[in-house]
Amino acid sequence: MSGAARSEADAAFARLASFTAEIPRLRWFAAVGTTLTPPMVAAAETYVAALGLVPCPVATVGSWHEAAAAAQRPDWSRDWWQAESVCEQALQRQAGARFGLEPLLAALTDVTDAAAGIRDQAAAALACAGLDDEALAKVAAGAAAQACHQQGLALLAGDSAGRAFAAKFTLFAAGRWPLGIVGGTCFVF
């Protein structure tokens, strides 16, 4: 690896390490169910557009029960999930080509480890709403951990292809839970 490439790799992994350190400090799910602010709506719109999907309305759901129900509706968008998968695979190829698969996977493992504690924050947020639902806490934590993984990939791939995941992560970092596209609407809890 050349000196320039080494320095580029160091900078990218430093960015990722800083992101990883931030994960346990975020107030996960702290703003769920509240009114969506214009910046949150804009982030959701950016997320949808950056995935290359047709623009759609953005709406919120008001409770954990409604969030769980939305995530189980049969009319969820397969195109949305597929677009995320395609984007994720492209970022993994790019990041792997830049830095090698092994260092990439090691760094992403650190991200996943950092995200393991989000389940406790999800359970705490549920408890604030008077709910004790271990499965739903794990569903929310799984969604958040996936977003951490995707944002980690985006940071390492280092180009605009990761814009969708950056926008999605902005929503999580603001204490929301983007539920994806269901019935033609992008729902954010």
Partner 1 sequence: MSATAAAPIKSVDALKAAPDDYQLAVRKIVRSHAVNELYGARVYDEPAIALAPTPYLKWLTCRIAMEEYGHHVRFRQLGEQMGIPESEMTPEGRKPLSIFEFPLKTWEEFCVVKLLADLAEIIQVEDLMKCSFLPLRNLAKVTMPEEIFHSQFGKDTCTELVRTEDGRKQVQAAINHYFPMMPAFFGKKDSANNALYRKYGIKQRTNEDMRADFLKRVRDLVEGHLKLKLPEVAEAA
Site for partner 1 in 77-106 (CB under 8 A): 81, 85
Question: Residues 56, 185: contact at Cβ < 8 Å?
Answer: yes
Site for partner 1 in 1-60 (CB under 8 A): none
Parallel, antiparallel or unpaired: strands 185-188 and 58-60: parallel
Q: What is the closest distance, in whole angstroms, from the C-beta atom of residue 122 to partner 1 in the complex? A: 10
Judged by phi (left if over 0) then psi (alpha if -120 to 50, else beta), residue 178 lies in beta
Q: What is the closest distance, in whole angstroms, from the C-beta atom of residue 10 to partner 1 in the complex? A: 25
68 binds partner 1 (CB under 8 A): yes
Q: What is the closest distance, in whole angstroms, from the C-beta atom of residue 99 to partner 1 in the complex? A: 22
CA 128, 64, 48, 110 torsion-angle sign: positive
Per-position DSSP letters for 79-140, written without gaps between them: HHHHHHHHHHHHHHHHHHHHH-HHHHHHHHHHHHHHHTTHHHHHHHHHHHTT---HHHHHHH
Which one-letter DSSP state was computed for residue 161? Answer: G
- Considering only residues 7, 37, 63, 72, which one is a binding residue for partner 1 as defined by CB under 8 A? 72
> In a 10 Å sphere around its CB, with 0-12 CB exposed, 13-18 middle and 19+ buried, how is residue 38 labelled?
exposed
- Considering only residues 51, 145, 156, 167, which one is a binding residue for partner 1 as defined by CB under 8 A? 145
Window of 7-15, 48-56, 58-66, 110-118 that interacts with partner 1 by CB under 8 A: 110-118
Q: Nearer Cβ to partner 1, position 103 or 158?
A: 103
Q: What is the closest distance, in whole angstroms, from the C-beta atom of residue 70 to partner 1 in the complex? A: 8
Chain positions contacting partner 1, by CB under 8 A? 68, 71-74, 76, 81, 85, 112-113, 115-116, 119, 134-135, 138-143, 145-146, 179-180, 182
